[in-house]
Amino acid sequence: MKNIKSSLEWDPIKTELLRQAGRLTHGSDIRKMISNISTKITELSKAEVAARRGRSNLAVELLKEINEDLVTVEEFLLVAALLG
């Protein structure tokens, strides 16, 4: 199970997830989910900068949400692999 602690950890995880999704019949749906996570990662990056400046605690909430989404994507990848 992949969990991230900051937006900087996303790129290698994204690459691996896209590689796994590329081989699957339902990979296009999973790629859309990964794309949505990428959008949230961009928001997380901005929130992390704001948090370092002492302006916001949004980063913690976004990080939790992103990690939940990652778990969902991994579950979808597993089901899609089992379905063929």
- Residue 2 has a pLDDT of 81
pLDDT at 1 exceeding the cut of 90: no
- Residue 26 has a pLDDT of 79
Structural domain count, the chain? 1
Query: Per the domain annotation, does 39 fall within a domain?
Result: yes
Query: If 0-12 CB within 10 Å is exposed, 13-18 middle and 19+ buried, where does residue 16 land?
Result: exposed
Query: Per the domain annotation, does 1 fall within a domain?
Result: no
- pLDDT tens for residues 29-76? 999 999 999 999 999 999 999 999 988 889 999 999 999 999 999 999
pTM above 0.75, yes or no: yes
pLDDT at 84 exceeding the cut of 80: no
Domain that residue 62 falls in: 7-83
Structure tokens at 27: 């990979």
